[in-house]
């Protein structure tokens, strides 16, 4: 089994051609395929790995554009089409201080309507890794579809990877987000979080927070540190893997590129849920796997956009 299977939201982000304005002041937007799990699938495929994205789009022009974008990146697009809602869209802007503003249109968007019974066994059977996030946990029926597929993939022997990727404006409250995001830690073998997310979820620093997450079930917690790389924490180890210095121009997609690089490495090395903990306790393995993931993340920041800025294997090794 070598396929990285990602499930969740797939939408069109409308991004300004220039940065530095509040969303209310942006005069014109450009379309960009978005959705964190879709970006991760694209990152794996651009590196030459096998990846599949499972999600739902509207039977409309934007759904068609997203299918084309995934296929051009080399992702197997396992997309369910619906007439019940339109393909999701969101408007994004990047302010002077680097903070992003979001305006979501999700009442509902097609991706939120994915149902468990629409996910065929043949979409999960060959999974080396099953990866999901928290945006698809905000509402039913997509929430149950995401969690059922995680349980099915786990039963089939896949590593379950979880990137909470907190998007607070999508949740009814911060408490609701925290509670729901934390509730599914026991399903995951591997969790990727940023330092800010550890603070938000647990009110703790990276090491203490990661130890609390590990106690809930995962074998390893990866804390991303922006330009400083990442920290890989298991019950008995804490390994810092230094970042790759670059001149960053747009950090959109860096976290997803990083996750794609990490999952590509796990799948191509044939690492299983059983061997994951031992593998990530080893400093040499960590240096190779996360040095690679850090380079993917770093290169992604040197170009604009998410999917268009993801590197090929030659660029990462070059």
Q: Give min distance, CB of 159 to ligand ATP, in A.
A: 19
The Cα 120–Cα 269 span in angstroms is 26
Options 82-90, 246-254, 269-277, 279-287: segment touching ligand ATP (CB under 6 A) = 246-254
Q: Which of 204, 146, 196 is nearest to 6 (CA)?
A: 146
DSSP state of 156: T
Element (H, E) at 291: helix 283-301
The Cα 206–Cα 224 span in angstroms is 10
> Residue from 21, 244, 268, 285 that binds ligand ATP (CB under 6 A)?
244
Given its phi and psi angles, is residue 312 left (phi above 0), alpha (psi -120 to 50 degrees) or beta?
beta
Q: Give min distance, CB of 233 to ligand ATP, in A.
A: 14
206 is an interface residue for ligand ATP by CB under 6 A = no
| Interface positions, 296-315, toward ligand ATP (CB under 6 A) | 297-298, 301
Q: Give min distance, CB of 223 to ligand ATP, in A.
A: 9
Q: Give min distance, CB of 13 to ligand ATP, in A.
A: 13
230 is an interface residue for ligand ATP by CB under 6 A = yes
**One character per residue 143-172, x = contact with ligand ATP (rule: CB under 6 A):** ----------------------x-------
> Residue from 80, 156, 246, 313 that binds ligand ATP (CB under 6 A)?
246
Tell me whether residue 79 or residue 222 sits nearer to ligand ATP (CB atom): 222
125 is an interface residue for ligand ATP by CB under 6 A = no
Under a CB-based contact definition with an 8 Å cutoff, are residues 68 and 87 in contact? no
Tell me whether residue 137 or residue 298 sits nearer to ligand ATP (CB atom): 298
Give the other-Cβ count within 10 Å of 97's Cβ: 6
Q: Which of 69, 72, 82 is nearest to 31 (CA)?
A: 69
Tell me whether residue 35 or residue 255 sits nearer to ligand ATP (CB atom): 255
DSSP 184-195: TGGG-SEEEEEH
227 is an interface residue for ligand ATP by CB under 6 A = yes
Under a CB-based contact definition with an 8 Å cutoff, are residues 51 and 66 in contact? no
């Amino acid at each position: 089994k070598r396929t990285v299977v990602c499930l969740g939201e797939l939408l069109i982000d409308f991004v300004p051609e220039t940065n530095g304005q509040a969303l209310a002041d942006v005069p014109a937007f450009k379309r960009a395929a978005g959705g964190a799990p879709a970006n991760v699938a694209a990152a794996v495929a651009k590196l030459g790995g096998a990846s599949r994205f499972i999600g739902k789009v509207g039977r409309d022009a934007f759904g068609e554009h997203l299918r084309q974008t995934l296929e051009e990146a080399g992702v197997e697009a396992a997309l369910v089409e619906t007439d019940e809602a339109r393909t999701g869209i969101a408007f994004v802007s990047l302010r002077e201080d680097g903070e992003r503003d979001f305006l979501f249109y999700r009442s509902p968007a097609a991706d939120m309507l994915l149902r468990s019974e629409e996910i065929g066994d043949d979409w999960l059977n060959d999974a080396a890794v099953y990866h999901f996030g928290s945006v698809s946990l905000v509402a039913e029926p997509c929430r149950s579809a995401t969690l059922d597929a995680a349980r099915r993939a786990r039963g089939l022997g896949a590593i379950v990877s979880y990137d909470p990727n907190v998007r607070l404006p999508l949740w009814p409250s911060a408490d609701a987000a925290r509670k729901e995001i934390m509730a599914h830690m026991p399903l995951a073998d591997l969790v990727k979080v940023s330092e800010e997310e550890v603070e938000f979820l647990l009110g703790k620093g990276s090491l203490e927070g990661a130890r609390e997450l590990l106690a809930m079930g995962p074998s390893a917690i990866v804390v991303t540190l922006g330009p400083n790389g990442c920290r890989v924490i298991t019950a008995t180890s804490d390994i810092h893997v230094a970042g790759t210095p670059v001149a960053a121009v747009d950090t959109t997609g860096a976290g997803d590129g990083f996750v794609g690089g990490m999952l590509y490495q796990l799948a191509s090395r044939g690492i299983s849920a059983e061997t994951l903990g031992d593998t990530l306790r080893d400093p040499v393995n960590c240096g190779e796997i996360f040095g690679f993931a850090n380079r993917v993340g770093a290169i992604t920041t040197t170009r604009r956009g998410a999917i268009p800025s993801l590197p090929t294997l030659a660029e990462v090794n070059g």
